[in-house]
Amino acid sequence: MVEQLQQFGFAPDVAPIATQWLGKLKSERRVSAKTLEAYTRDLGQFAAFLNDHLGEAATIPSLSALEVSDFRSFMAKRRAAAIESRTLSRQLSSIRSFFRYAERNGHFKCAALSAVRSPKIAHSVPRPLSEEQAQRITTEVILENSHAWVNARDLAVLMLLYGCGLRISEALSLNLKQAEENPLVVLGKGGKTRLVPVVQAATDAIAAYCKLCPFQLSAKTLLFRGAKGGPLSPRIIQLLIERLRGALNLPDSATPHALRHSFASHLLGNGADLRVIQDLLGHASLSSTQIYTEVNRKHLLEQYQKAFPTA
């Protein structure tokens, strides 16, 4: 890791501090491997920028002497690379975290960073499918492939996304033993586990897939397999949804993750408690779940306008 950060542009006196910070994130905060990779990439890109911006590898004295304009220059360069506000905000958050760690442990302090504002993120709401559209996707998938076991596999995956609200990574990481349990014990973001009840349609779809799968499935091996028996790639499901989107004339917002949004939105629309939906989705904060109330309110207004266009 030290060599990697030195290669990005950090001087030898800074690279060990960055490595210690990443180690703390992994051991104490227990961030996921993907999150740790994102932090490393964010800090590496900042180090590479400073190497070019300062004309030398970033040292402790040079990091301490950075000004607001330096951080703004980094953000401007990332903007020029077509980086969106949400990603840029996350990168700035990673940099802040590293600098806070360095200050708390007496390595260096940069007062200018506290005056740097994060970019504004446009307010957006999830775009779930209608109940009819979601049902059409899970119905038409059986016509997609000439191999019955592949159709059964794809249907089982989609039923876990829509019927249980799983992320695609969560569904594809299940093993046979987990899939046979109800409720499911799901390992979500940040290594957090949650219990998710399995609807009968999903249970039936998984059983049908297991019966038809040509590869041997054991308790601790991955449940969903690719055409050659290896782990099923998320890209296969993404391409499947793309094909169904065209065949069924669905909006561009129809993606595997939209099925998870649909799960939450349809539960809320049918009277489910917001706290229950939060637990089922594995959201750490209720504010992440509350956005679905806005989705339903928008849908209600749209239906009202259709029914009473002159109101």
Task: Report the chain (311 residues): mean pLDDT per 10 consecutive residues.
Answer: 55 90 83 83 92 91 93 91 86 93 94 87 69 82 73 93 91 90 83 86 93 89 91 92 86 86 83 80 74 61 59 54
- For residues 261 and 125, what is the distance between their CA atoms, to the nearest angstrom? 10
What residues pair up with 222 in beta bridges, in sequence order? 175
Judging by DSSP bridges, how do beta strands 184-187 and 193-196 pair with one another?
antiparallel
Supply the residues annotated as catalytic: 167, 189, 257, 260, 283, 292
| Residue 171 identity | A
Q: Count CB neighbours of 236 within 10 A.
A: 16
Of the candidates 27, 105, 95, 24, the one whose C-alpha atom is nearest the C-alpha of residue 63 is 95
Q: In this structure, which CATH number among 1.10.443.10, 3.40.1010.10, 3.40.50.620, 2.60.40.3080 belongs to the domain 131-258?
A: 1.10.443.10
Fold match flag (2-115 vs 131-258): no
Of the candidates 251, 238, 242, 300, the one whose C-alpha atom is nearest the C-alpha of residue 133 is 251
Instruction: Supply the DSSP string of the chain, one letter for each residue.
Output: -HHHHHHHTB-TTTHHHHHHHHHHHHHTS---HHHHHHHHHHHHHHHHHHHHHHSS-B-HHHHHT--HHHHHHHHHHHHHTT--HHHHHHHHHHHHHHHHHHHHTTS---GGGGGPPPPP-------PPPHHHHHHHHHHGGGS-SSHHHHHHHHHHHHHHHHH---HHHHHT-BHHHHTSSSEEEE-GGG-EEEE---HHHHHHHHHHHHH-SS---TTSBS-B-TTSSBPPHHHHHHHHHHHHHHTT--TT-SHHHHHHHHHHHHHHTT--HHHHHHHHT-SSHHHHHHHHHHHHHHHHHHHHHH-TT-
How far from each other are the two terminal CA atoms of the chain, in whole angstroms?
63
Of the candidates 175, 277, 153, 186, the one whose C-alpha atom is nearest the C-alpha of residue 219 is 175
Which two tokens mark 73? 């220059």
The confidence score (pLDDT) of residue 62 equals 93
Enter the CATH code of domain 2-115. 1.10.150.130
C-alpha dihedral sign at 277, 291, 243, 140 = positive
Residues 6+ apart with CB under 8 A from 106: none
Domain boundaries, the chain: 2-115, 131-258
The confidence score (pLDDT) of residue 303 equals 53
What residues pair up with 10 in beta bridges, in sequence order? 58
Of the candidates 89, 121, 128, 163, the one whose C-alpha atom is nearest the C-alpha of residue 294 is 128
Contact 143, 175 (CB under 8 A): no
